[in-house]
């Protein structure tokens, strides 16, 4: 797959786009959109330019025109590395997808890898790995033979798990994040994997973690069924989700992350033979200087 172009490749189009972005930043959204549309006449195949035009049209209140621009993104780049599908859903011009496009998640975290820990931990007060580790330790404080860290990222969860895990495996969709994790020498095994199509043939795990991973998967039925089959009889599943504050099971939020209802989480786990051992509401990070409430969940197989 070709890299996405940050530039249009046309000098005049780039200059118009730069000026359009200046207008957009200043709050002049409608003139910005018009100038950006002129730039795209000169560079009609510029995917990132169409995404930006949609943002300008949305800011100007022209949702139909925003939808046209983002549908153009999808026509040019069906894998949807820029997440146009999510944007269309958020303005009511498409149904929310069952999950984030895999290419979007991979691209997002490949780009984010170098600044991930600084941004998340230092600026957004990210707490999920510590909270999950504490919740797991509250279930008896035992050593775990095999732990699988799903969506391991740069290894923030692995840092918490390593002291009480004999073998630690990490799986992530982003090769760039995996390189960061590998450099920490925490994991016995690392592999690139898409959790929407996850295949695991190893021994059953004593502990499976998913720290801030299910917020990109949407519906939890498929992944929960897979994880239940991967978990040892007395094993633990520990994961986080963002708490849904509105009616329903789950919802795509303006942040482009999914939030899940507590009752929905309990039902999906129960339907797959898992019992909730602990479920706590916690502030898991800051977002736009506001606390984000999450659910910190530990589950295990129901006793026969």
Q: Is residue 135 within 8 Å of residue 141, measured between CB atoms?
A: no
pLDDT of residue 114: 85
pLDDT of residue 3: 59
Structure tokens at 65: 């025109």
Residue 244, C-beta contacts closer than 8 angstroms, at least 6 positions apart: 250, 251, 259, 260, 261, 264
Distance CA 169, CA 148 (A): 5
pLDDT of residue 276: 97
**Cβ atoms within 10 Å, residue 42:** 17
pLDDT of residue 190: 98
Distance CA 168, CA 132 (A): 16
Q: Which of 260, 269, 199 is nearest to 236 (CA)?
A: 269
Q: What share of the chain is helix, strand, coil (3-state, %, to 5)?
A: 45, 25, 30
Is 11-95 a CATH 1.25.40.10 domain?
yes
DSSP state of 209: E
For residue 199, the Cα-to-chain-centroid distance in whole angstroms is 19
pLDDT of residue 304: 59
Distance CA 103, CA 2 (A): 12
pLDDT of residue 2: 57
pLDDT of residue 112: 80
pLDDT of residue 4: 65
Long-range contacts of 44-47 (CB under 8 A, 24+ apart): 45/76, 46/5, 46/8, 46/9, 46/13, 47/4, 47/5, 47/73, 47/76, 47/77, 47/82
Write out the residue limits of the CATH 1.25.40.10 domain(s) in the chain: 11-95
Distance CA 260, CA 244 (A): 5
Please, what are the averages of pLDDT over each run of 10 residues along the chain (304 residues)? 70 93 95 96 95 96 97 96 95 90 92 83 85 95 95 96 97 96 97 92 96 93 95 96 94 93 97 97 89 96 74
Which CA distances in Å does 6 have to 3, 18, 113, 191, 228?
Answer: 9, 12, 18, 29, 42
CATH, domain range 112-301? 3.40.50.150
Burial zone of 6 (CB within 10 Å; 0-12 exposed, 13-18 middle, 19+ buried): exposed
Q: If DSSP codes are grouped into helix, strand and coil, which group holds residue 23?
A: helix
Residue 78, C-beta contacts closer than 8 angstroms, at least 6 positions apart: none
Write out the residue limits of the CATH 3.40.50.150 domain(s) in the chain: 112-301
């Amino acid at each position: 797959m070709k890299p996405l172009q940050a530039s249009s490749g046309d000098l005049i189009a780039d200059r118009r786009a730069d000026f359009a972005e200046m207008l957009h930043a200043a709050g002049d959204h409608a003139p910005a959109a018009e100038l950006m549309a002129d730039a795209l006449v000169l560079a009609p195949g510029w995917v990132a330019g169409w995404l930006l035009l949609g943002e300008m049209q949305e800011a100007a209140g022209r949702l139909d025109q925003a939808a046209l621009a983002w549908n153009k993104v999808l026509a040019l780049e069906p894998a949807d590395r820029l997440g146009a599908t999510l944007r269309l859903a958020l303005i009511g011009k498409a149904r929310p997808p069952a999950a984030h496009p895999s290419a979007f998640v991979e691209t997002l975290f490949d780009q984010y890898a170098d600044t991930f820990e600084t941004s998340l931990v230092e600026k957004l007060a990210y707490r999920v790995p510590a909270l999950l580790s504490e919740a797991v330790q509250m279930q008896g404080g035992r050593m775990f033979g095999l732990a699988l860290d799903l969506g391991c990222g740069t290894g923030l969860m692995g840092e918490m798990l390593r002291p009480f895990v004999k073998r630690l495996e990490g799986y992530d969709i982003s090769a760039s994040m995996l390189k960061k994790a590998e450099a920490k020498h925490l994991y016995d095994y690392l592999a690139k994997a898409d959790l929407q199509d996850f295949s695991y043939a190893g021994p059953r795990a004593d502990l499976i973690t998913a720290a801030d991973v299910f917020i990109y998967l949407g519906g939890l039925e498929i992944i929960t069924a897979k994880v239940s089959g991967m978990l040892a009889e007395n094993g633990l599943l520990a994961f986080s989700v963002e708490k849904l504050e509105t009616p329903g099971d789950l919802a795509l939020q303006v942040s482009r992350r999914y939030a899940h209802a507590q009752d929905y989480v309990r039902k999906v786990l129960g339907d797959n033979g898992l019992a909730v051992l602990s479920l706590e509401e916690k502030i898991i990070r800051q977002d736009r200087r506001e606390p984000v409430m999450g659910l910190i969940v530990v589950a295990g197989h129901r006793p026969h």
